[in-house]
Amino acid sequence: MVKLFYFIPAGLAGLFYVFFGGVFGDFGAINPLAWVCTALLAAGAVLMARKIAPGCLFGIAVGALLIGMGLRETGQIVKEWPAGMLLIAYSCGSGWLCWKSAAKREA
């Protein structure tokens, strides 16, 4: 059950982009960086599911990217920095949980 916990951000991002790509019928309109970030989140989740705690660094990197994009003033209605902060907190918590469960398994 805990292993599925690691895949929540990647799953939500994937569903979001697949839904909007399917509804609007144009997957090419979605920024390729969004697909790269979704792949990074999935790769980090796979690493943490295998008890490799540094996999959380992928989520932290994507969160930092969201914060950086959200702090630029481009006239957007929705800012990305709150999502980036939540993702960093979630990734740190997931990494800690992974590290603790891996340490418990070794002992």
- Side-chain half-sphere of 77: how many Cα atoms within 13 Å? 0
**Residue range 43-97, pLDDT digits in tens:** 999 999 999 999 999 999 999 999 999 888 777 788 889 999 999 999 999 999 9
Is residue 59 classed exposed, middle or buried when 0-12, 13-18 and 19+ CB atoms within 10 A define those classes?
Answer: buried
Please report, for residues 16, 22, 30, 35, the alpha-carbon distance to residue 25 in angstroms, rounded to integers and kept in the order given.
14, 5, 11, 16
Q: What angle do CA 4, 7, 11 make, to 5 degrees?
A: 120
Higher pLDDT, 102 or 16: 16
| pTM more than 0.75 | yes
pLDDT at 20: 85
- Closest alpha carbon to 37 in 84, 74, 98: 84
